[in-house]
Every structure is written in structure tokens, then in C-alpha cells.
Amino acid sequence: MKGKRNYGQFCGLAAGLDVVGERWALLIVRELLIGPARFNEILGNLPGLGPNLLSDRLRALAAHGVLESAAVPGDGRGRRYRLTERGEQLREPLLALARWGMAFLGEEEARGGAVRASWGILAVQAMIHGRPLPGTDESYEFRVADETFHIEVADGRAVTRRGPAGAPALVVVTDAETFVSIGAGMRTPFEALISGRLRIEGDPEAARRCVEFMGLLDAARPPAATAPAVPAAPSGEPVAAAAPPG
């Protein structure tokens, strides 16, 4: 866009960052990966972002073909934002980035950071992305605060959908903070169970398959404050589907 700063490099990564590298841009995309949303819905899920800046970011992303707006049926003035096909292509890299970023979550973020139950949908997608599928076709339902969604494993793929499952083999009930902290490895499902912040209903074998599928069988990671430093590198209408690794 005219007057917009850019990296000025003939490089795909730099060009991509020219489009989505501004602060808040990827979090706006995150909200639309969950589903189409109105302006105020996006604003409400991004505390700290003002309406003027949100308008600027939406215009910039639309100008690059990442998102578009459409009229809301029955509301002459309402507009709903949704990702375009090009914007949807950001799902896989953003899931990988979210999974990578979970290792940096700590108690400080858990105590004072904003959290939304709807973010659990993408958290689940990030956790199961690229993992071996369970050997049984079944569904797992998650009730995270006021949000319900489920994973359906069938026909060699796993699909994450909003809403309840038809006949879940497993139902998990918890709050948003606990759900994210388990995904980040800050506590194990067992620790959440004995603390009363997690409830599991259903077949114990289905619970084992679900926990293994989500990569939660490992012990909780050490707190961020005690984690070793990373050495410097040497110079020189489903929501999503996770396919089994090739």
C-alpha cells in the first residue's frame, strides 16, 4: 500500500511479513480462522486493540486479498469479515506457530493474560496437527467455559468443528485457562483432574487415545523461568481437517 513501510527485499518471507507482520494482524487472522466475525466481535476478543487501529488493519488485510467483508442477512448495515482462499492458506503456518509459541507461555501470562474459550478451537487444531491418528473412528467433545467444539476422527482424518458431537466417546469439561495451560504443558491432565478444574466423562480407553492424539502423555514441562536458555545458532463448512502424516 502507498506510504506503508516494507522490508524492501526480494524474499517471500519478507513479502509475507509486509502483509501480516504489523502488530495485531496475525491475531485478527486467528479470530477469522475460528470463523467469520463482525467488527465488534473481533474487537471484543482483542483487548488492547482500539477500533481505529482495527479498522486500519482490516483495510490493509483486505487490500492484500487476505480477508473480505460481506453483508449480514437481515441487517442492512451489518458487515461480517471472513478469510479469502488466500487468507485460509495461513491456517497451517499459524497452527505451527501457535504450537511453537505454547512453549513460551508461563505463569505470568496465565495470571494476567487475556484468554478466550474460542481460542481453544485453534489450540486443539495446533495440538493434533501432523500427529498420528487414533486407530478408532470416534469423536471427542470439549466444553471449555461457554464454548463447545469437538474432534471427529473418521475415514482417515480428524476434523475439528464447533458445536457438540453427535455421540462422543469422550466429553471434557474445563475452563479456558486450564485448557490452555494443559496444551502449553504447564500442567498435566491428571493434575487438572485432581485439582477439580477438569472433568472427563466417557470411555477410559477413548480418554487414553484422545490424550495420546493431542500429545499430552508427556510430563508437564518445567516452568518457563527455569527452562534452559536456547543456544545461539551458528553463523553462516468444517473448521479444519488434520490429515495423517505422509
Residues 27-46 have pLDDT tens digits of: 999 999 999 999 999 999 99
Instruction: Write down the pLDDT at residue 80.
Output: 96
Q: Count Cβ atoms within 10 A of the Cβ of residue 190 and give its class: 0-12 exposed, 13-18 middle, 19 or more buried.
A: middle
CB atoms closer than 10 angstroms to residue 178: 21
Per-residue pLDDT for 24 more than 90? yes
Instruction: Write down the pLDDT at residue 232.
Output: 43
Strand partners, 240: 160
Distance of alpha carbon 38 from alpha carbon 49, whole angstroms? 15
pTM of the model: 0.81
Distance of alpha carbon 61 from alpha carbon 72, whole angstroms? 20
Q: Are 211 and 217 in contact (CB under 8 A)?
A: yes
Per-residue pLDDT for 135 more than 50? yes
Distance of alpha carbon 13 from alpha carbon 190, whole angstroms? 41
Q: Is 11 helix (H, G, I), strand (E, B) or coil?
A: coil
Instruction: Write down the pLDDT at residue 111.
Output: 76
Residue whose cell numbers read 486450564:
178
Q: Percent of the chain beyond pLDDT 70?
A: 87
Distance of alpha carbon 27 from alpha carbon 45, whole angstroms? 9
Instruction: Write down the pLDDT at residue 73.
Output: 86
Per-residue pLDDT for 226 more than 60? no
